[in-house]
Amino acid sequence: MTALQVPGASAPYEAAPWAGGTSGQPEPLIFERSAPGRRASSFPPAGEFPEVKEAVPVSARRTGPIGLPEVSERDLIRHYTRLAHRNYAIDLGFYPLGSCTMKYNPKIAETVAAMPGFARLHPAQPAEQVQGALEVLWRLEHALKELTGLAGVTFQPAAGAHGELTGLLIMRAFHEAAGDPRRRVVIPDAAHGTNPASVRLAGFEVTTVPSNPDGLVDLDALERVLDTDVASFMITNPNTLGLFERNIERVAELVHGVGGLLYYDGANFNAILGKVRPGDMGFDVVHMNLHKTFATPHGGGGPGSGPVAVSEGWCRSCPHQLSGATATRSGGTPAGRSRSDGSTAGTATSGSSCAPTPTCWPTAGTGCATSPSGPC
């Protein structure tokens, strides 16, 4: 690797061998490549379209140059291509961080996700215009129910951490609705870093239990901290050490014995997918990371999804299914799509008994705080 001295840095910065071209020098800023009069595209003079100018309020019109760099299309493409090549990525080599953050997605999945029917949808589009996307969500919802062994799924959370918080709020709503508000959530010492942060954000206190010499939850230590003030025990299985918690049924028995709930952090769900289901292990709530376990695009501030699955009878305490449809509430064909006999099943909607909104948070007794159609 080529060592580059960064001004003000105490040690040289090492550029990756593919990053700096033949010179090994840092890529100049795009503004440093700017030269007056260069253009990467051309537009007709604004005077040729007076109606456009009139459509923009005077208060919103610029009074001077915007100050963008002036470069040719060739220089523009080369600049950002070189920057892209500076990034280490799963397409370049091994990334040793398990399931988290970097996982190889088949290119066909990336291509499908970029199809205009998905990528160009607007969140506020009428349901009748997005029937295909709603059917995909409907089918995925039922697949996730089967894979988790749980009864209900919400796609409302926009990312894994968002799903984790949603799951905790669902459990808080569940206990409060039962007239039994609880204060503590127990996590293992090998828990993902987001777990204690989400616990605190959801208004709980964190209690940590140690691992035993085998790297699994210490059952004696867990039993000592469990009481009727414990809302939940959160755990990943396989755990963060990559070990399957073989005593998980005993863990479920201990937690349920004090009226607590068992929460599955789905970070490592891909390791057991199709082999064993969290619901069969005794878990009550599962959040999933579709960019880890499946092949949705990695978020990075862009598209993300952190669906939450819940056990039977819990759908009143969570944001409702995003896809659902009036004709599918009894488990039929997704509405608006063809059945095998050629007939159709009505019109799909963006929600079933409760249309979801960004403010549709779990609340005790009602399920959703707000929705266009009222409480669940």
Look over the chain and give the mean of its residue pLDDT values, rounded to a whole number.
77
CA distances from 305 to 105, 116, 157, 223, 300 (A): 15, 18, 6, 34, 12
The pLDDT assigned to 24 comes to 59
- Please name the residues in contact with 77: beta carbons below 8 A apart, sequence gap of 6 or more: none
Q: Is the same domain home to 65 and 142?
A: no
Residue 30 is given by DSSP the state: G
> Which tokens go with 5?
């001295």
CA distances from 165 to 66, 79, 84 (A): 41, 40, 33
Q: Is the same domain home to 136 and 265?
A: yes
CA distances from 216 to 8, 188, 270, 277, 376 (A): 46, 9, 19, 19, 40
In a domain, 119, yes or no: no
Q: 30, exposed or middle or buried, with CB in 10 Å at 0-12, 13-18, 19+? A: middle
Please, what is the Cα angle at 74 between 71 and 78, to 5 degrees? 100
From 288, 305, 328, the end of a domain falls on 328
Residue type, 33: R
**Residue 44: band (very low, low, confident or very high) from pLDDT cuts 50, 70, 90:** confident
Q: Which of 42, 43, 36, 45 is nearest to 70 (CA)?
A: 36
**% residues pLDDT > 70 (the chain):** 72
241-251: average pLDDT = 93
Residue 16 has pLDDT above 80, yes or no: no
Q: Is the same domain home to 155 and 26?
A: no
Q: Is the same domain home to 176 and 78?
A: no
Residue 290 has pLDDT above 70, yes or no: yes
In a domain, 268, yes or no: yes
Query: Looking at per-residue confidence, does 193 or 335 come out higher?
Result: 193
End-to-end, the C-alpha distance of the chain in Å comes to 59
In a domain, 232, yes or no: yes
Phi, psi of 48 (to 5 degrees): -75, -10
Phi, psi of 122 (to 5 degrees): -105, 135
The pLDDT assigned to 270 comes to 86
In a domain, 341, yes or no: no
Q: Is the same domain home to 147 and 246?
A: yes
Residue 17 has pLDDT above 80, yes or no: no
**205: number of CA atoms within 13 Å, CB side?**
8
In a domain, 100, yes or no: no
Q: Is the same domain home to 161 and 305?
A: yes
The total domain count for the chain is 2
Residue 124 has pLDDT above 50, yes or no: yes
Give the C-alpha separation, 122 to 216, whole Å: 45
- Where would I find the beta strands (DSSP E) of the chain? 2-4, 13-15, 152-154, 184-188, 205-209, 230-235, 261-265, 285-287, 308-310
**Residue 46: band (very low, low, confident or very high) from pLDDT cuts 50, 70, 90:** low
pTM, rounded to two decimals:
0.69
315-332: average pLDDT = 45
Residue 287 has pLDDT above 60, yes or no: yes
Three-class SS state of 236: coil
Beta-ladder partners of 285 = 263, 310
Kindly write down the DSSP assignment for every residue of 32-97, as one continuous string: GG--TT--S-----GGG-HHHHHHS-GGGS-SS--------HHHHHHHHHHHHHHS--TTTS---S
Query: Looking at per-residue confidence, does 150 or 13 come out higher?
Result: 150
Three-class SS state of 152: strand
Q: Is the same domain home to 78 and 144?
A: no
Q: Is the same domain home to 204 and 139?
A: yes
Query: Looking at per-residue confidence, does 210 or 315 come out higher?
Result: 210
The pLDDT assigned to 43 comes to 78
Residue 351 has pLDDT above 50, yes or no: no
Give the C-alpha separation, 332 to 330, whole Å: 6
Residue 120 is given by DSSP the state: T
In a domain, 121, yes or no: no
Query: Looking at per-residue confidence, does 8 or 198 come out higher?
Result: 198
62-82: average pLDDT = 91
Q: Dmax over Cα atoms in the chain, in whole Å?
A: 79
State the DSSP H helix or E strand holding residue 112, giving kind and residue range, or none if neither: helix 107-113
340-363: average pLDDT = 33
Three-class SS state of 184: strand
Residue 225 domain boundaries: 127-328
